[in-house]
């Protein structure tokens, strides 16, 4: 089969590339190959009753399938260059923001209408944070919520399915450069295309590395973010979350001068597990529908680590820490903050005595046996700093789930078109190491589609 464009990966990067190609040149013959399932077949078997923890499905429905890692996410589209990736370094700050706004418009058109756009512009919390040595980053955030995010994806799929050929449960195995373009090899068949967009996200990181090695595309090691997911009663953060929804706050520790930041805040949300290449880590999301909301808010506290010489494998370091927590807890470990600072593990009975109901069934344990001292010290310092702007953060019953690891793909060498050294081979989204968010990944898809039709 021969296509004008083949897209590998149907996450936000791939979807928005396909969408924009069809908007601008509907006559193009486009195929999308996706390792995971179609949207309606994506189900995580964890039901909290029969199946309580990750059973390591062959294709993780949280990470893979139509919608990519974003399908069951909180659907927070942050419109900012301050975090979420470094797309602006390639395409310019204005272009990056314009594309993120364009993506927002499409999301509204496909079911997100009526959802709220929060903004840090003019907020009084900026001052309150600075007064307490905390730094609130600037952003506008569209919160679709897990439920509306799903509806938007469903509508996008229904619109695209007759225009673009989708191949689900079809991982691309290799990419071969030819005189006319590229050959994409899958298990049983080989497909040809003139241009290829690779958008394989975090779950495709190992494969991406292999492709770059085979094609001689240079890569650079990236950072890894390691930390915990904090869960506390929603009222503790409600003054911030009601106004800003998500506040990205950075704190520089006194002890080591490391930056600790809040990440992925989910008011009235739930903590969930995530399976990346067989390693169980923790994440969170929340619903727009009040009926599905919980009484807790969760967010991550992360410390970035970047290794260069002689050890370069930042992700490998993060993986080892996550494996250690998997080994001790059989998955995710949960600990009360009070137990952590008293140097004792949390036990089922201490958890039962807590005045908070965890939203994830994790193993009570001791995070100090898992996290390196420097990282743990930073997190504890940050919790006390946050306690000044959100009193109650440092309560004994605040829950810490570990570990949360944000793996970043190695950064692939691409130019301002996000095109590799091979003409017509574009590498976008989280798989390129350039983006780490829904809005940046989606914007990168629109950017390359426009370049292709040009």
Ligand X SMILES: Cc1cc2nc3c(=O)[nH]c(=O)nc-3n(C[C@H](O)[C@H](O)[C@H](O)COP(=O)(O)OP(=O)(O)OC[C@H]3O[C@@H](n4cnc5c(N)ncnc54)[C@H](O)[C@@H]3O)c2cc1C
What are the phi and psi torsion angles at 171 (to 5°)?
-70, 140
Q: Using only C-alpha atoms, what is the Rg of the chain?
A: 21
Question: Nearest distance from residue 189's CB to ligand X, in Å?
Answer: 13
Q: Which of the residues 76 through 105 are near ligand X (CB under 6 A)?
A: 76, 78, 84
Distance CA 193, CA 212 (A): 18
Query: In this chain, which of 436, 443, 447, 448 binds ligand X, going by CB under 6 A?
Result: 436
DSSP 73-138: S--EEEE-SSSSB-HHHHH-HHHHHHHHHHHHHHHIIIIITT-EEEE-TT-THHHHHHHTTEEEPP
Question: Smallest distance from the beta carbon of 85 to ligand X, in angstroms?
Answer: 8
Q: Tell me how far CA of residue 412 lies from CA of 83, 209, 210, 433, in angstroms.
A: 19, 9, 12, 6
Q: Does 11 bind ligand X (CB under 6 A)?
A: yes
198-217 binders of ligand X (CB under 6 A)? 199-204, 207
Restricted to residues 151-180, the positions that interact with ligand X (CB under 6 A) are 171-172
Site for ligand X in 259-288 (CB under 6 A): 264, 272, 274, 283, 285
Closest to ligand X by CB, 5 or 264: 264
Minimum gap (Å) between residue 298 Cβ and ligand X: 11
User: Following DSSP, what letter does each residue of 171-185 receive, concatenated?
Assistant: ---EEEE-SSSEEEE
Q: Is the peptide bond before 346 cis (omega within 30 degrees of 0)?
A: no
197 binds ligand X (CB under 6 A): no
Nearer to ligand X, 65 or 365 (CB): 65
CB of 405 to ligand X, least distance (A): 11
Cis peptide before 310 (omega within 30 of 0): yes
Residue 318 sits in the site that holds ligand X (CB under 6 A): no
Query: With binding defined as CB under 6 A, does residue 145 bind ligand X?
Result: no
Chosen residue from 5, 7, 13, 195 binding ligand X by CB under 6 A: 13
Among 3, 7, 9, 427, binds ligand X (CB under 6 A): 9
Q: How far apart are CA 422 and CA 361, in angstroms?
A: 47
List residues near ligand X by CB under 6 A: 8-14, 33-36, 62-65, 68-70, 73-76, 78, 84, 171-172, 199-204, 207, 264, 272, 274, 283, 285, 429-431, 436-439, 441
């Amino acid at each position: 089969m021969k296509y004008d464009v083949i897209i590998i990966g149907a996450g936000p990067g791939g979807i928005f590339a396909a969408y924009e190609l069809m908007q601008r040149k509907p006559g193009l013959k486009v195929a999308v190959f996706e390792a995971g399932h179609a949207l309606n077949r994506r189900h995580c078997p964890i039901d909290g009753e029969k199946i309580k923890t990750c059973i390591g499905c062959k294709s993780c429905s949280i990470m893979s399938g139509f919608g990519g890692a974003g399908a069951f996410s909180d659907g927070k589209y942050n419109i900012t260059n301050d975090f979420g990736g470094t797309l602006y370094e390639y395409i310019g700050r204005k272009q990056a923001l314009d594309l993120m706004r364009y993506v927002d418009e499409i999301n509204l058109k496909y079911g997100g209408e009526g959802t709220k756009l929060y903004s840090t512009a003019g907020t009084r919390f900026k001052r309150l944070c600075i007064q307490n040595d905390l730094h609130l980053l600037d952003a506008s955030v569209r919160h679709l919520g897990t439920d509306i995010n799903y509806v938007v994806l469903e509508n996008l799929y229904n619109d695209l399915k007759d225009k673009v050929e989708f191949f689900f449960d079809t991982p691309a195995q290799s990419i071969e450069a030819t005189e006319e373009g590229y050959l994409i090899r899958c298990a049983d068949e080989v497909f040809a295309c003139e241009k290829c967009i690779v958008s394989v996200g975090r779950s495709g990181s190992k494969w991406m590395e292999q492709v770059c090695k085979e094609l001689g595309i240079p890569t650079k090691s990236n950072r890894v973010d390691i930390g915990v997911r904090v869960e506390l009663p929603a009222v503790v953060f409600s003054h911030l979350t009601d106004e800003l929804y998500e506040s990205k706050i950075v704190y520089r520790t006194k002890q080591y001068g490391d930056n600790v930041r809040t990440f992925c805040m989910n008011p009235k949300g739930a903590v969930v597990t995530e399976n990346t290449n067989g390693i169980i880590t923790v994440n969170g999301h929340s619903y727009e529908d009040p009926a599905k909301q919980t009484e807790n808010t969760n967010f991550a506290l992360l410390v970035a680590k970047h290794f260069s010489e002689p050890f370069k494998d930042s992700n490998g370091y993060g993986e080892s820490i996550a494996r250690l927590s998997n080994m001790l807890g059989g998955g995710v470990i949960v600990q009360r903050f009070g137990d952590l600072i008293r140097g004792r593990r949390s036990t089922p009975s201490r958890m039962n005595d807590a005045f908070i109901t965890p939203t994830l069934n994790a193993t009570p344990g001791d995070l100090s046996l898992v996290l390196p001292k420097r990282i743990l010290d930073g997190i504890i310092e940050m919790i006390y700093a946050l306690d000044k702007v959100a009193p109650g953060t440092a309560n004994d019953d605040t829950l810490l789930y570990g570990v949360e690891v944000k793996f970043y793909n190695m950064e692939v060498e691409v130019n301002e078109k996000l095109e590799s050294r091979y003409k017509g081979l574009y590498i976008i989204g989280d798989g390129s190491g350039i983006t780490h968010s829904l809005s940046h990944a989606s914007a990168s898809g629109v950017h390359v589609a426009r370049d292709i039709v040009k």
